[in-house]
Amino acid sequence: AHRHPDYLVLGSDTVIEIDGTLVGKPQDLDDAETMLCQLRGRTHQVHTGIALIHETVSVTVVRGETALVRMTAFTDQELRHYLETEESLGKAGAYSIQGEGARFIEKIEGDYPTIVGLPLRQTADLLEQRGVMLKTPVEEIYRLKPYANWKVFG
The answer, yes or no, to whether residue 152 has pLDDT greater than 80, is no
What is the pLDDT at residue 5?
72
Q: How much is the pLDDT for 21?
A: 96
- Domains of the chain: which residue ranges? 9-153
CA atoms of 8 and 15, how far apart (whole Å)? 24
pLDDT at 29 over 80: yes
Annotated catalytic residues are 13
How much of the chain exceeds pLDDT 90, in percent?
Answer: 68
- Res. 147: pLDDT tops 80: no
Domain 9-153 = CATH 3.90.950.10: yes
pTM score of the predicted model: 0.88
Mean pLDDT of 33-40: 98
Q: Are 107 and 70 in contact (CB under 8 A)?
A: yes
- DSSP annotation string for 67-132: EEEEE----HHHHHHHHHHTTTTTSGGG--TTTGGGGGEEEEES-HHHHHT--HHHHHHHHHHTT-
Rounded-to-integer distance, Cα 112 and Cα 147, Å? 10
pLDDT in tens, 89-137: 999 999 999 999 999 999 999 999 999 999 999 999 989 888 888 888 8
Q: pLDDT band for position 142 (50/70/90)? A: confident
